[in-house]
Amino acid sequence: MQIVPAVDIRGGLCVNLVQGDYAQETVFSDDPVSQAIQWHEQGGALVHIVDLDGAKAGRCCILEQLKALCTQGVPYEVGGGIRGMETVETILGAGAERIILGTAAHADADFLREACSSYPGKIAVGIDAKAGKVALSAWLEVTSTEAVDFAKTVEDSGAARIIYTDILSDGGMNGPNLDATQAVAESVNIPVTASGGMSSIDDVHAVARLESTGVDEVIIGRALYVEAFSLGEAIAAAESIPTA
């Protein structure tokens, strides 16, 4: 189980939102690049970057920060506002290990297939769900599409991974939605990254127990920033799962 620390960027700052609500924002650093470097130095083999401005604008708003991360040797994945092949190519050219498609993957099936075909192994799809329904456009629009059904579509389109976020859990530190995450993982044969609600080492253990279902990564944001536990502690916990 890989622990993936998150760096959410808005207005050039490293922030955290509660349930995707821009009105419930906490600023944790004024230097997202330095924060990502710090997580990498503490053991993060991959850093999860979210372009919050891009998610609203429909374009990449953090290209210079991404280039800086590449220069500093920080492996990263990035999502938010990636809605065309030109943006995919630009971000991969800036050194991204993975591209995460969200809104565009749901709205434009041809784009999803083209991206997956052009860059095999590099395209993940972020499935953000509220009460089991897929949410789009920075979580402002909740669709009628079931997350499990969309997961199967994503797999058929050639995506290498699903990043599943339970919106009602995200940023709240009330624990992850294990049942929903497991349901998505068991519906497909590609790996799933869990996201949302991580609050304690017990939560890390709980998600790690889902590894047999196909959940092999977990993204952690706010809990690390408020020092509920350290990144090193989370990595150690994921490698040592209590039997009870």
Measured CA to CA in angstroms, residue 162 lies from 8, 29, 47, 148, 231 at distances of 19, 28, 16, 11, 23
Q: Is 190 helix (H, G, I), strand (E, B) or coil?
A: coil
Contacts of 214 (CB under 8 A, 6+ apart): 185, 186, 188, 189, 190, 191, 192
Please identify which of the residues 8, 53, 203, 216 carries the catalytic annotation.
Answer: 8
Measured CA to CA, the distance from residue 235 to residue 89 in angstroms comes to: 32
Contacts of 136 (CB under 8 A, 6+ apart): 102, 103, 106, 107, 128, 142, 143
Measured CA to CA, the distance from residue 21 to residue 140 in angstroms comes to: 9
Please identify which of the residues 51, 53, 128, 203 carries the catalytic annotation.
Answer: 128
53 is catalytic: no
Instruction: Check if the beta carbon of residue 51 is closer than 8 Å to that of residue 80.
Output: yes
Contacts of 43 (CB under 8 A, 6+ apart): 3, 231, 232, 235
What's the half-sphere exposure (Cβ side, CA atoms, 13 Å) at 11?
9
108 is catalytic: no
Instruction: Check if the beta carbon of residue 88 is closer than 8 Å to that of residue 114.
Output: no
Positions marked active-site: 8, 128
